Amino acid sequence: MGDREIQGDVYQMWQSENVTAEQKVSAQFSGLLAAGELNPCAAQSSDDTQSPVPSARVPQLEGWTPWALGGVLLLGLAGVFAWVWRAPMAQTGGEKALLRRQRTEPLQRIAKLDDLHAVGELSDAHWQQQRARLKAELLTVALQLTE
């Protein structure tokens, strides 16, 4: 049948007539490489194995590269963890400062109320009622501060 090119390689094609599927066909080839010999046409790889198709050589990474990438990833995860853990604490700190300011206001109003009562500007009943209300407000804020 002659020579035929398949994917850039030339092959000799053979054809026989009157051969059935049950018949054995014998062939003898010459000029072939022995088992285990290196094919000079095949691409040679870095680990001395052969590849039938030429391929690009992939550069190897330095030994420290995976450690460096792992360290960067670990630092990133630690930063995210610290940010998530610290966000509620920062919010709690701001709430506590607000509660401390809210605690100071009833204390000052109680002191002013006591001064007015001491000079006789407030009746005993009105003084006791206002003072009890301010003390309840102060107790509520103090309980929130201890949580």
| Contacts of 2-8 spanning 24+ positions with Cβ under 8 A | none
Strands (E), the chain: 2-6, 9-13, 43-44, 50-51
Q: Which residues contact 24 (CB under 8 A, 6 or more apart)?
A: none
**What's the confidence (pLDDT) of residue 24?**
85
Show me where the domains of the chain are located. 96-147
Compute the distance between CA of residue 102 and CA of residue 141 in angstroms, rounded to an integer.
Answer: 7
**What's the confidence (pLDDT) of residue 22?**
86
Residue ranges of the chain with pLDDT lower than 50? none
**What's the confidence (pLDDT) of residue 50?**
54
Give the residues across from 9 on adjacent strands: 6
pTM of the model: 0.37
